[in-house]
Structure 1
């Protein structure tokens, strides 16, 4: 039986352009200690566990004439060394050097002729640390048939789990004549195949026309000396280059704010994002232009039988929240964000953060991949920013005996959106990954500083005894009183 690319996954493949490579990335920092964790050990670790994600050894096979959706087929020339790559920084490598390397790597699209993933083993970091930078295409990880490989590489103990040897042998892909025959047969027996092919082909044509239009505009701009007019940090024509910024904070700080003002850690994180955006926009050359709110899409875990089931025990849905960047009071900003999620919780669909953190393996990599798919699906609803926050385990994890110190998610940009923010909590830390267009948002590193300062501001008002929003400052008059909630 042929394994066709599903309609939704095909949409991600056809929507991808050089300006919008649709892969999720993760930067993980490790302390090898005495484990001997090196490039060879990483290759061995992946070889032992890749059998649990068969899609990672498959490539896309198109049907002649595009008369049906393409197939997933085994890569007969699968070469693990091609996908697991080695890099190094000049010792002692700094965080800024690592981020510059990561920015260049995530800017490059994946090779469509091979399985759609890469992992870089980066040596030379200061303090003897090493980093893993992974890239996985949105079409590869759906959380249903395939989870992210990064979820399977980490163990709860320094001693790696043992698995049976993998004796994988690739199946030969169907010949072109068979591909056509299968397509004709499926067209007769399965109307869904025809619909998928038509939708996929139509989207491919539209995507190619859009790409050509952008290239024509770019050439015209070069000839006339005019650059496309950007619409600020929340809109504009993307370049082919990215900038990655990371921020590390402590989970205990968010819990301190939560205890003073009720709500959840997620509320405090979004209030921190709101305060950081406000301060950052006020430092830029242009004014906020009367902008009082930023419409954000925040993928959340829900229990909803009408949505596509995942292997993670919940579904992922889009939740929209207006981040009140025009509000000067950090306490009021927190309460406004918190009220939005209180309404979501009262639907009875929400999933507790501690349940998500308890999913086997390091599930944040998979959750972020699904979250970016949800954000891409909601483009038509006109949001300005995507913020994905995923709670992870609060105990150390290990790769071949090396302890993971930090995990920074790096989400892809979608057309017209030069900025995206992702957050992962792990082992007492809260780690932000900011992805920005290099041309439209050249000061993304300043946003990272503003995020830290916004958290400090919340901590300051929490320790000063101001434990409730000032009377009359809520913007939602009908907001009911809220009971204290757990994470």
Structure 2
């Protein structure tokens, strides 16, 4: 494959760009909380750290260039006006800033689509948090990170030691922009030298039209299903707060818990930590649906998509893109017993393990750097590409249990913010790191204004499971904090 062909967007990447709307931006975000050293946070040094790491992944300095006439897929081209200070933005909360204020700001950040005329990522450095902590809010387009040639920005920035190595002078300079004639010539060359190029050209010619035809066909299919139900007397599908027409605004809710509590539940009842996480989510959904007076006779199960790792060779950090595949599990929200819910979830994954080779949490957590960031990005792509009918995506990625550092500042919390798929009102990302488990719930602001209640219900469901493991009576969740947006 030529250098030009390698820089041309693949069909799946073009699909992420073509299918994006203001209500459904295709981007994955995260909140990383760092604790600076005693001398305080040095923004200038952090900016140099980011610039140093970008040299390892050229894609972060490239933007999408459309070929004139759309005779071929677009290409990744060096941004001749690349401005690091545009992408790394400094902000602050009124001291002492609270998590409520940070999450309100993060919700607004993730609601806005990225600028297509620039490299498809942003990083917000937010100072002023209580305890002198600093938040790094990242936002990256799903077309940018594939887990193979490009890993997530957070994975690039984090080290396993607090010592900051010498910054190598970056000699990169923006090249002269390619002319339209060169873009066309490159497209023609790729088309005549590769079968994929010819296929890409043919598909590109009708890219937008094909998407519209597919959407119209789907609308007719849904309408036809409604007519069929009317003619046959079958009851229409019950409405669910997990589906709806999305707005352009998002809410972000976070939870934090002790990893030891999940392990205690696992050791008592069997299964895995991932099973316990899903059982807590199931119990939380059950309680939340009941607060909405949702009849559990009609919503007995919630089909969920859970991206999992399915390779058994030595994990190569440069090839994470092929390491994740979708697994579908039915969350038994109508089941009143927390232990039975856990066993039903565990059984589903036992069946999966019997038919697919999975990677243990220990091996995933042992990958160098901070691989959860890249795995979450790849997991979000798996969810977006799934044709399976599901209502909720839950992506849990085990991370390292030793501290990580960004330019000498210790990482103290990591919340993965997954995007909402079209028509889906909730998405949940989970990362375990340094003895803690971090949840981030993404919700549509209009359809799920009570998103903080979802987090509270998951908190209580976890405590209910912990009661069954310790034999104690109900008390406040130990080591678990529920954080919600203000104004809800």
Contact residue 19 and residue 239 of structure 1 kept, 8 A: yes
* Whole-angstrom distance in 1 between the partners of 2:377 and 2:175: 28
Equivalence for 2:142: 138
**Residue 212 of structure 1: how far off its partner (Å):** 11
Contact 1:294 1:385 in 2 (8 A): yes
CA distance in 2, matches of 1:39, 1:104: 23
> Bigger CA drift: 187-196 or 74-83?
187-196
Q: What CA distance in whole angstroms lies between the structure 2 residues aligned with 1:295 and 1:273?
A: 12
Secondary structure of 1:381's partner? coil
Question: Residue in 1 aligned with 2:431?
Answer: 424
Matches of 1:434 and 1:155 in 2, distance apart? 27
Q: Return the alpha-carbon distance in structure 1 between the equivalents of residues 21 and 204 of structure 2.
A: 15
Inter-CA distance 204–313: structure 2 relative to 1 (3 Å threshold): closer
- Which residue of the other structure, out of 56, 61, 65, is the alignment partner of 2:60? 56
1:436-476 CA-partner distances (Å, limit 9, x unpaired):
1111111110001111101100000112299xxxxxxxxxx
Distance 2:214 2:111 in 1: 20
Matches within 5 A, 1:250-329: 250-288=258-296, 290-303=298-311, 311-312=319-320, 315-329=323-337
Relative to structure 1, is the Cα distance of residues 340 and 309 closer, same or farther in structure 2, using a 3 angstrom cutoff? farther
Aligned residues: 448
Q: Give the drift of 1:404.
A: 1.0
1:194 positional shift: 2.7
Native 8 Å contact 1:35 1:402 kept in 2: no
Change (3 A) 1:209 1:97: farther
Contact 1:230/1:236 (8 A) holds in 2: no
Following superposition, the deviation at residue 157 of structure 1 comes to: 1.6
CA apart distance, 1:285: 4.2
User: Helix, strand or coil: the match of 2:72?
Assistant: coil
TM-score, normalised with respect to structure 1: 0.88
Unmatched tracts of structure 2, length 5 or more = 218-236, 474-488
How far apart, in 2, do the equivalents of 1:458 and 1:416 lie?
31
- SS of the residue corresponding to residue 201 of structure 2 reads helix
Once the two structures are TM-superposed, the CA of residue 234 in structure 1 deviates from its matched residue by 1.7
State whether residues 309 and 315 of structure 1, in contact with CA within 8 Å, keep that contact through their aligned partners in structure 2. Answer: no
1:75 maps to what in 2? 79
Match for residue 170 of structure 1 among 167, 174, 190:
174
Deviations 1:311-332 (A, max 9, x none): 2396110000001111000000
Conserved? CA contact 2:321–2:378, under 8 Å: no
Q: Is the CA contact 1:31–1:128 (under 8 Å) kept in the aligned structure 2?
A: yes
Provide the C-alpha distance between the structure 2 equivalents of 1:29 and 1:309, rounded to a whole number of angstroms. Answer: 24
For 1:396, the equivalent position in structure 2 comes to: 403
Matched, 1:44 2:44: no
2:469 is aligned with 1:462: yes
**Residues 309 and 424 of structure 1, relative CA distance in 2, 3 Å threshold:** closer
**What SS does the aligned partner of 2:32 have?**
strand
| Structure 1 SS opposite 2:448 | coil
Q: Does the 8 Å CA contact 2:258/2:436 hold for their aligned counterparts?
A: yes
Task: Name the CA distance, whole Å, in 2 between partners of 1:47 and 1:27.
Answer: 20
Cα offsets for 1:333-357 (capped at 9, x unmatched): 0011011111222235100111000
Relative to structure 1, the CA distance from residue 35 to residue 49 in structure 2 (aligned partners, 3 Å threshold; closer, same or farther) is farther
CA contact (8 A) 1:110 1:117 kept: yes
The alpha-carbon deviation at position 33 of structure 1 amounts to 3.2
Q: Which moved more, 1:30-39 or 1:455-464?
A: 30-39
Matched, 1:442 2:449: yes
Deviation at 1:162, TM superposition (A): 3.4
Partner in structure 1 of residue 121 of structure 2: 117
CA distance in 1 between counterparts of 2:55 and 2:113 reads: 25
Find the counterpart in structure 1 of residue 226 from structure 2.
none
Deviation at 1:310, TM superposition (A): 5.7
3-state SS, counterpart of residue 87 of structure 1: strand
Q: Judging changes above 3 Å, is the alpha-carbon distance between structure 1 residues 211 and 349 closer, same or farther for their aligned structure 2 residues?
A: closer
Q: Contact between 1:87 and 1:120, CA under 8 Å: does it hold in 2?
A: yes
Judge which range, 134-143 or 285-294, deviates more.
285-294
Q: Is the 8 A contact 1:155 1:161 kept in 2?
A: no
Residues 50 and 310 of structure 1: CA distance in aligned 2, closer, same or farther (over 3 Å): closer
* 1:322 to 1:124, Cα distance in 2 relative to 1, 3 A: same
- Residues 58-104 of structure 1 show CA distances to partners (whole Å, capped at 9, x for unaligned) of 00000000000000000010000000001111111111110000000
| Larger deviation, residues 386-395 vs 342-351 | 342-351
Q: Which moved more, 1:267-276 or 1:39-48?
A: 39-48
Question: 2:154 and 2:328 mapped to 1: Cα distance?
Answer: 28
Q: Given the superposition, is the C-alpha separation of residues 99 and 313 from structure 1 closer, same or farther in structure 2, using an over 3 Å criterion?
A: closer
My pick for the range that moved more, 368-377 or 339-348, is: 339-348
> How far is the alpha carbon of 1:131 from its aligned partner?
0.4
5 Å matches for 1:30-41?
30-41=34-45
1:406 is aligned to 413
